Amino acid sequence: MNLIVDIGNTRTKYAVFDDGAWVECGLGLPEVYDLAKTYRENGKEVDLILSSTGAISAEVRERLREVSTFFCEVSSEIPLPIRLGYDTPKTLGVDRIAGCVGGAFLFPGRELLVIDSGTAITYDFVSADGEFRGGNISPGLGIRFRALNEFTASLPLVKCSMEHGYIGKNTHDAILNGVMNGILFEVRGYIDELLRNNPHAVVIITGGGSEYLKKTLKRTVCFEDKLVITGLNRILEYQKTVNYT
């Protein structure tokens, strides 16, 4: 049984895979400990992978080791099922690594553009032979709305909405349309450039902000809400192969 633990800036997510199939998911570190202990008490091996976008205390890391049969932590320095063609791999976020590994696993032998729309929007490119070629980082929805409010004297803070138009007739709508369409046009630009040079490439979009792109882009891209979790599970399987052989 594989237990995926993803500690973010505001919450901890976990997922369980058994024989490659997704079983369940949830939130919270106490729940992770209880779940792992239950599986161990029932005679199951618990192979655990830890991913974090921030610092993790030694206590948390040690407790996760204690409840697992096999333990590993994601970083750019561990063996990976893809190659990292990046000048500064130590600065590469583990979520970006996992998303690209997930994409390469789902679409082997295809050139990929992996777009993760979260707090930031990341655009990452993977070659057909499995090399992470690099990518770009752009402000996400929330950052753009807050920036217009915080760095100007009179513009209000506007919330994102599925219901937006093209030309604003008031300040609220001008901001809403500007941010929502700005992201949409940006994403389209990356997709169009990739497909212009490689019409057989695959575009995968994930992340919480991807909901705002589905209505317009769903016919030309693949939306995978479990992409990062799938990638982490693939990295865990790879680690077990490396360490057990």
**Secondary structure of 172-233 as H, E, C letters:** HHHHHHHHHHHHHHHHHHHHHHHHHHCCCCEEEEECHHHHHHHHHHCCCCEECCCHHHHHHH
Mean pLDDT, the chain, integer = 91
Q: What is the pLDDT of residue 142?
A: 93
The Cα 103–Cα 92 span in angstroms is: 17
pLDDT tens digits, 53-72: 777 888 888 989 999 999 99
Q: What angle do CA 67, 24, 108 make, to 5 degrees?
A: 100
Q: Is 33 annotated as a binding residue?
A: no
Please indicate whether residue 95 is annotated as part of the active site.
Answer: yes
DSSP 138: E
Which tokens go with 2?
């594989």
Q: What is the pLDDT of residue 134?
A: 95
Of 221, 242, 244, the closest CA to residue 107 belongs to 221
Q: Is 132 exposed, middle or buried (0-12, 13-18, 19+ CB in 10 A)?
A: buried
Q: What is the pLDDT of residue 244?
A: 55
Q: What is the pLDDT of residue 212?
A: 84
Whether 144 has a pLDDT exceeding 80, the answer reads yes
Q: Is 124 annotated as a binding residue?
A: no
Q: What is the pLDDT of residue 156?
A: 95
Of 4, 71, 6, 67, the closest CA to residue 38 belongs to 67
Q: Is 93 annotated as a binding residue?
A: yes
Q: What is the pLDDT of residue 165?
A: 84
Q: Could you tell me which CATH number the domain at 2-73 has?
A: 3.30.420.40
Which amino acid is residue 155, in one-letter code?
L
Q: Is 90 annotated as a binding residue?
A: no
Q: What is the pLDDT of residue 20?
A: 86
Q: Tell me what the mean pLDDT of segment 154-181 comes to.
A: 92
Whether 47 has a pLDDT exceeding 90, the answer reads yes
Of 20, 53, 14, the closest CA to residue 34 belongs to 14
Q: Is 119 annotated as a binding residue?
A: yes
Q: What is the pLDDT of residue 151?
A: 96
The pLDDT-based confidence of 220 (bands split at 50, 70, 90) is: confident
Q: Is 96 annotated as a binding residue?
A: yes
Whether 143 has a pLDDT exceeding 60, the answer reads yes
Q: Is 9 annotated as a binding residue?
A: yes
Whether domain 83-227 has CATH 3.30.420.40? yes
Q: Contact, 96 vs 122, CB < 8 A?
A: yes
Q: Tell me what the mean pLDDT of segment 21-27 comes to.
A: 90
Q: Tell me what the mean pLDDT of segment 122-151 comes to.
A: 96
Which residue among the candidates 87, 95, 129, 192 is catalytic per the annotation?
A: 95
Residue ranges of the chain assigned to CATH 3.30.420.40: 2-73, 83-227
Whether 98 has a pLDDT exceeding 90, the answer reads yes
Whether 245 has a pLDDT exceeding 60, the answer reads no
Strand ranges, E, within 69-130 = 70-73, 83-84, 112-117, 120-126
Q: Is 214 annotated as a binding residue?
A: no
